[in-house]
């Protein structure tokens, strides 16, 4: 009787490298607008796209926070509110 048959093997963590290669159609996409990129996931995506050589526009409601985020990653800022038709 084999004891290994009842043992679960632990999965090894898969190294996750998030970098520019995940950008689809890298040579075709040159400008990207990311709404809500003044923090969190949007901010990180903007940072990585700028690092990949893309022109990135960060759209946010708050002009101060959006401008600071754009400056921090080397992007451009546009003030907009996706719930307000006047800013679209």
**Which value, to the nearest 10 degrees, does the dihedral of the CA atoms of residues 16, 29, 83, 78 take?**
100
Domain locations in the chain as residue ranges:
30-82
Residues of the chain with pLDDT below 50 are 1-2, 14, 16-18
Q: How far apart are CA 38 and CA 70, in angstroms?
A: 7
pLDDT value of position 85: 76
Q: How far apart are CA 47 and CA 62, in angstroms?
A: 19
How many Cβ atoms sit within 10 Å of the Cβ of residue 76? 15
pLDDT value of position 82: 75
Tokens of 8: 């679960």
pLDDT value of position 71: 95
What class is the 30-82 domain?
A: alpha beta
C-beta of residue 33 within 8 angstroms of C-beta of residue 59 = yes
pLDDT value of position 5: 54
pLDDT value of position 73: 94
In this prediction the pTM is: 0.62
């Amino acid at each position: 009787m084999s004891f290994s048959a009842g043992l679960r093997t632990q999965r090894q963590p898969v190294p996750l490298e998030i970098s520019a290669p995940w950008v689809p159609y890298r040579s075709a996409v040159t400008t990207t607008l990311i709404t809500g990129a003044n923090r969190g996931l949007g901010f990180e995506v903007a940072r990585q796209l700028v690092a990949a050589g893309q022109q990135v526009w960060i759209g946010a409601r708050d002009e101060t926070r959006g401008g600071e985020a754009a400056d921090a990653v080397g992007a451009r800022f546009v003030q907009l509110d996706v719930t307000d038709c006047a800013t679209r």
